[in-house]
Structure 1
């Protein structure tokens, strides 16, 4: 599973990095540190027909996209 560490990045970078990773991987772990980034990545994944789950860690979110 590829990991995309998008913590500290502004929009639209987390989505762009996620899209790039999903071109070659079926499962991607995405790390973001803002609620709106989590929601944007979740929406993008859903629009691509993917399922997402997330865990809130110490100051950031870990999303698993499948």
Structure 2
């Protein structure tokens, strides 16, 4: 089951920090991240990839984006 990080309404670096915290502490292999700006989408993607994760899917979601990150 995936964990969801809802970072909508937050400006960077908050979405990145929340995502990194979940990557480092969460047991789930899949993380869903919700953001509402292009900048947050790009920064979260870069941060996840820097931790060895893959961003498997990015899709529009309710005026923002839904990113599916897979650890490992």
Q: TM-score range by the shorter chain?
A: over 0.9
Match of 1:35 in 2: 38
In structure 2, C-alpha distance between the alignment counterparts of 1:60 and 1:7, rounded to whole Å: 8
- Tell me the TM-score normalized by structure 2: 0.85
More strand by share: 2
Which of structure 1's runs of 4+ aligned residues deviate more than 4 A? none
* Superposition CA RMSD, Å: 0.9
- The equivalent position to 1:44 in structure 2, one of 27, 44, 47, is 47
Quick check: 22-31 or 40-49, which moved more?
Answer: 22-31
Match of 2:59 in 1: 55
In structure 1, C-alpha distance between the alignment counterparts of 2:62 and 2:15, rounded to whole Å: 19
In structure 1, C-alpha distance between the alignment counterparts of 2:6 and 2:30, rounded to whole Å: 14
- Tell me the TM-score normalized by structure 1: 0.92
